[in-house]
Structure 1
Amino acid sequence: MTHQAEIIDSPDESFSKLNMLDFISSKEIEKKISKSHAKKIPYDLYIRLSPQKFVRIVNKNQEIPVERFRNYYEKGALFVYMKKEDFQNYLGINLCLTEKISENKLVPQEKKLILLKHTGEIILDCLYTNEIDQTALESAKTMVETATHILSDSSAAFELLKALNEYTDHLYAHCVAVSFYSTLIARQLQWNAPVTLTKITIAGLLHDIGKKDIPRTIIDKPRFNMSVEEIKIYETHPITGMQILSKLEAVPEEILQIVMQHHEDCTGHGYPHGLKKGQIHPLARLIAVSDKFAEFVVKGPESQGMTPENAFLEILNLYRDLLDTTFLYALMQVFGFEPPKKYIQLREEWEEEE
């Protein structure tokens, strides 16, 4: 820190937290596109020293080189903070940036995916910590339209996984993973109609929005550590999510069904309604595959982050009958994974359903 740094006392709830590496990456992209050495930061930035104690490292409209932020990171600052009232401004800047880079060949695919993940997490932070309104939904739609373009081929699958496991909130990373991997499944199945891709990507991003009012002490637990009462609370999130989104006229009925049905399973033993396969919306069955896959490959309460291969083997061993094999096999193809010979019937089922 410099001797000019100002230390302030303020409630943690007054600030929004950003992954420092993702922030650095977005600034590097901005610099590459603008071809300038430093950009003015249109908001104050802070580092958290301890609960309710922050140090201001950047004053509004100050020019600061990206290297300075990297220096803070190397000294142990994993996150950068800004005031809640500036967060929407930052989101707007990042949405513009993601749109600009989608076809920019100067920006590597890895950087595009990091920015895409970062922007998705910013949107989710807004959705989970504030009232959901039309503006927030429009932000999600803008990001989704860019995402469906950047995720146009399966080469993004492994690079995205790396980005998702870099110092992030597991709830947001999980939702971004479900959204993006669902898009890749749809692409693999040649479901390339923009309206379909948009519905799938938005539904993936919002599928767990019903968790916004569930205590983090429950969300951060593995299911096997939850009490019976905590499981009951946890399992309210599909219906709660549908109810939250149904208040917005712009949300299509299909997305409401997906959000409500993403924990139903093909054997009829899912929740909240115990629907059989034929009663579950096809896109909800697709999202369910990405949801289970993300549960294993993204670091969180249920996993420390498996490799895709180990995740698929776990799913085949424990969850194969619960999931729609059409979508499961499509996701395996995205990663170039072939099921072991004992699961040859899986491929036959997939071909029959085609």
Structure 2
Amino acid sequence: MKSVLIVEDEVGIHDVLEFYLENLDVEISFAEDITTAKNKMGEHTFDLILSDVHLKEDGNGIDLLKDVKSINQDLPFIIMTSFISALDAKEAYRLGADEFVAKPINQDELRNKLMHLLGSESEDSYKQNEFDDDLFCEVPLKSFISGKIAPFDIYIRIRNGKYIKVSNKGDNYNYEILKKFEDKGVEFLHALKKDFQDYTLMNLKICKALQDNKKIDDSKRMNFLVHSHNIIQESVFKLNFDDRTMSYINYYAKSVLNVLSKSHSYLNLLDHLRLECPDIYNYSLLSAIYALAISEKLEWESDERKTKLFLSGLLHDVGMKMIPEEIREKNPLYLTIEEKEELNEHPKHGMEILSTLHNVPSEVILAAYQHHEDVRGSGFPLKLKGHKISPFSKIIYITNHFSRYYLQGLKQDLANANASARAYHKFMDIHENLCEKSHLEAFKKLFPGESLD
């Protein structure tokens, strides 16, 4: 019979662990601190050690792991982790921990990992904690600050293909824990892409749209995603975003697009824009990317707000597809009165189009209707002022105009840096006094030291 030493200072958990491991061919001993654990190890030979990271008395699980591995590198050692001990998990892995189980402990996971390390064939459902990196996405640490319950299983990345689960969906955590992570320079945790997309879907409240029972054309979906992801990738590099902002945009933008592409109605609308009105789709996607960058500088914490903001940027100008191309492409200075009136109807068209889709968030519809309104009341179609304009619409006002100016610069064969600088200064010259001040300041932070040289 194999012998297992469990080091856990919460006596109440002893009975739980004993229950979890009953009917296995193992003998279990418990220790509440490191001194007791070492004494028992001196008196008895154990085949495996299972220890919590955090112990209250004379050290922690990392200290015990280090001592055990210095004496017997081959003795299997499992660390029990929690969200609070995520930083310790990396150190434990470096020191030779063989496995990890997240607290609150899943019985099957514990049994499988324990029996695997003991060389038993009785638990054949065990899987090594090795994953394809493509299965995971980065989750900005700030995403968790607004809540106290993990919305999905949370992992930390140790190396390529090696992830440790440090929190189960539904676990509690608090701001103090996150602050410790931030102080240590941690900017991202990880989640399975599928889990995050399900969470994003819930936040976007488009469940019915994604369950319209209409078959999705897989090749159409993949072409749309490849094209869109390429634009995102090119944009975050060409526009000289810092690494933090680049990761932030990649995380939200690609995840939301993946979710939307599973909806027959959203995919049809967006792919139509991409193929039939590429100019509209390109500057709308760029507008959405910049909207996310602004939200990062504003330190928005809510995932729901950020996903809705990206969707607002992506869909804000769908009404333009109702405007004849010759009017869309014409220099505004040469539009006739009738053409200008027709062009100015596009926000209304956008609102009407989005209102026909299932469960489009109201903020997104308002952004389509109000993205040409400015804080001084000189915009259209309603000449709204200040607080009467939705916050999302105020941000999209900025990113819509900038994105158009930037792409116009690229069409004029300006280099990326010059196109970006020209677009920034043109926007500031025309629109600086028409924007919400806090949003404008966040926008300026994306262009430190920008010049036309």
With normalisation by structure 1, the TM-score equals 0.51
Equivalent-residue separation in structure 1 for 2:309 and 2:383 (angstroms)? 22
User: Is the CA contact (8 Å cut-off) linking 2:287 and 2:313 kept in structure 1?
Assistant: yes
User: Is the CA contact (8 Å cut-off) linking 1:293 and 1:312 kept in structure 2?
Assistant: yes
RMSD, aligned CA? 4.2
Distance change (3 Å), C-alpha of 1:97 and 1:272: closer
The more displaced of 297-306 and 253-262 is: 297-306
> Relative CO higher for 1 or 2, CA cutoff 8 Å, sep ≥ 6?
1
Give the drift of 1:170. Answer: 2.4
Equivalent-residue separation in structure 2 for 1:222 and 1:247 (angstroms)? 31
Pairs within 5 Å for 1:215-294: 215-294=324-403
Equivalent-residue separation in structure 2 for 1:185 and 1:112 (angstroms)? 13
Return the letter of the residue paired with 2:366: Q
Q: Which residue of 2 aligns with 1:327?
A: 439
From 218, 227, 238, the counterpart of 1:89: 218
Q: Which residue of 1 aligns with 2:3?
A: none
Equivalent-residue separation in structure 2 for 1:109 and 1:315 (angstroms)? 24
Give the drift of 1:271. Answer: 0.4
Equivalent position SS for 1:233: helix
Give 1 or 2: higher helix fraction.
1
Equivalent-residue separation in structure 1 for 2:265 and 2:423 (angstroms)? 33
Equivalent-residue separation in structure 2 for 1:296 and 1:136 (angstroms)? 30
Equivalent position SS for 1:335: coil
User: Is the CA contact (8 Å cut-off) linking 1:267 and 1:322 kept in structure 2?
Assistant: yes
For each residue in 1:239-281, what CA deviation from the matched residue of structure 2 results, as whole angstroms up to 9, or x when unmatched?
A: 1100111112310111111110000011101001000011100
Pairs within 5 Å for 1:1-354: 88-94=217-223, 110=234, 135-137=264-266, 169-299=278-408, 307-337=419-449
User: Is the CA contact (8 Å cut-off) linking 1:170 and 1:299 kept in structure 2?
Assistant: no
Instruction: Structure 1 unaligned segments of length 5 or more: list them.
Output: 1-32, 34-86, 103-107, 128-132, 142-167, 341-354
Return the letter of the residue paired with 2:429: N
Equivalent-residue separation in structure 1 for 2:381 and 2:405 (angstroms)? 22
User: Quick check: which has more Rg, 1 or 2?
Assistant: 2
For each residue in 1:140-162, what CA deviation from the matched residue of structure 2 results, as whole angstroms up to 9, or x when unmatched?
A: 89xxxxxxxxxxxxxxxxxxxxx
User: Is the CA contact (8 Å cut-off) linking 2:322 and 2:349 kept in structure 1?
Assistant: no
Equivalent-residue separation in structure 2 for 1:140 and 1:328 (angstroms)? 31
Return the letter of the residue paired with 2:325: R
Q: Which residue of 1 aligns with 2:15?
A: none
User: Is the CA contact (8 Å cut-off) linking 1:221 and 1:301 kept in structure 2?
Assistant: no
Q: Percentage identity across aligned positions?
A: 27
Equivalent-residue separation in structure 1 for 2:268 and 2:323 (angstroms)? 24
Give the drift of 1:328. Answer: 2.1
For each residue in 1:72-102, what CA deviation from the matched residue of structure 2 results, as whole angstroms up to 9, or x when unmatched?
A: xxxxxxxxxxxxxxx9433322467699x99
User: Is the CA contact (8 Å cut-off) linking 1:263 and 1:288 kept in structure 2?
Assistant: yes
Distance change (3 Å), C-alpha of 1:218 and 1:95: closer
| Paired residue total | 212
Equivalent-residue separation in structure 2 for 1:264 and 1:302 (angstroms)? 27
Equivalent-residue separation in structure 2 for 1:285 and 1:200 (angstroms)? 11
Instruction: Structure 2 unaligned segments of length 5 or more: list them.
Output: 1-133, 135-215, 239-249, 271-276
For each residue in 1:9-49, what CA deviation from the matched residue of structure 2 results, as whole angstroms up to 9, or x when unmatched?
A: xxxxxxxxxxxxxxxxxxxxxxxx8xxxxxxxxxxxxxxxx
Equivalent-residue separation in structure 1 for 2:411 and 2:372 (angstroms)? 16
After the TM superposition, list the runs of 4 or more consecutive aligned residues in structure 1 that deviate by more than 6 angstroms: 95-99, 111-114, 138-141, 300-304
Equivalent position SS for 1:264: coil
User: Is the CA contact (8 Å cut-off) linking 1:170 and 1:300 kept in structure 2?
Assistant: no
Give the drift of 1:221. Answer: 1.3
